[in-house]
Amino acid sequence: MNLVSKEYIASKTDGDGVLILSEGAGASSELVEALVVNPNNREEVVNAIKMALEMPENEKAKRIRSMQLRIKRYNVFRWADDFLESLSEIKKEQRKLKAKILTKDAKEALISDYIKSRNRLILLDYDGTLTPLVERSDLAKPDNEVTELLRKLSETPGNEVVIVSGRDRKTLDEWFGNLDLGLIAEHGAWIKEKGSSWKIIEHIKSDWKKEIKRILELYVDRTPGSFIEEKEYSIAWHYRKASIELGEIRAKELKEILMNLVATYNLEVIEGDKVIEVRNAGISKGRAILNWLGKKKWDFILAIGDDWTDEEMFASLPKSAYTIRVGIVPSRAKFNISSPYDVRRLLKDLIEALR
């Protein structure tokens, strides 16, 4: 419970003392007047000790008194009340999420509407939706089962299948170029209708990437296991292979730095599953699928995704659409489904149903 640091603050009745805390300590987010350091960075620790030794008496007292007041107000009783209240809120959230799980009855209704329809639009994210998330993005190549499912779905009369992905267009062409389906790359920057060539949504710039990349490279050096993925109009920092605790700390730091910088370039920061991506503002999956929504009157729409960027897609669809979020998490989607394997099972059932 990180109580030693609080005991130190409470014991300094004369206001004389300086607290140096590791950024990994839970108390560092509460005792903000302490000098917070990365304990693995020797230079940072040395500088903090030097600052503490040279700190004026009035500054020491000011910091100590502020932390003492906070500890006094937020005592063990308030902490326990907050803890129990959080548990109660989680239970309420669990009940809400349980109500949205794609049950057997809901699945049967979906399949029934699929069979009765004639013009069907099927929008599918790839990573985390058709295939599980993996440590390295280059290891997520579709297996035979996924390829065969997509081939059968796209060849079914009345079906228009679109892969809506954050992947770059070269990778999507390599993986799905021989299938009769539509493709959306880089979260909506590029679109490719079946039988056509790639086209960009609008004229967008990429000259900002150099400066952003320098910042991301710094965080790769500071976070073992993390890496950069660069695309034509976006750049991402992945930390799935990094230590969970360190990765989350670094991601929070990086996001704050980027948020202060992106407004200058008209960019936006997207936080996904163990990834932070920077892209041009206004580019989204929701905007990209409008190209298909306007083509004809669809009497069945199914959209499945697993990430924050897929929420934009769900929001752009009519209320009659079947929207499904992979993972039991809050979502704009009508339903939740547990895993990519459940997605595959659903798609197999749709294929079988029309036979």
58, 88, 107, 265, 335 from 95: Cα distances, Å: 52, 11, 20, 42, 14
88, 114, 117, 157 from 355: Cα distances, Å: 47, 12, 14, 12
N residues, the chain: 355
DSSP string, 276-300: EEEEETT--HHHHHHHHHTTS--SE
52 with 36: CB under 8 angstroms?
no
If we measure between CA atoms, which residue out of 274, 294, 298, 335 comes closest to residue 99? 335
Task: Kindly report the number of other CB atoms within 10 A of residue 20's CB atom.
Answer: 15
**Residue corresponding to tokens 């005792």:** 31
Region of 187 please: left (phi>0), alpha (psi -120 to 50) or beta: left
If we measure between CA atoms, which residue out of 74, 181, 116, 124 comes closest to residue 337? 124
How many Å apart are CA 323 and CA 319, to the nearest integer?
Answer: 9
Angle (nearest 5°) at CA 177 between 300 and 165: 60
Task: Kindly report the number of other CB atoms within 10 A of residue 241's CB atom.
Answer: 15
Task: Give me 118's structure tokens.
Answer: 């004639």
If we measure between CA atoms, which residue out of 12, 29, 28, 11 comes closest to residue 20? 28
Residue 125 among the catalytic residues? yes
- Residue of 125, 168, 307, 310 marked catalytic: 125
% helix, strand, coil for the chain, step of 5: 50, 20, 35
C-alpha of 130 from chain center? 17
Where in the sequence numbering do the catalytic residues fall?
125
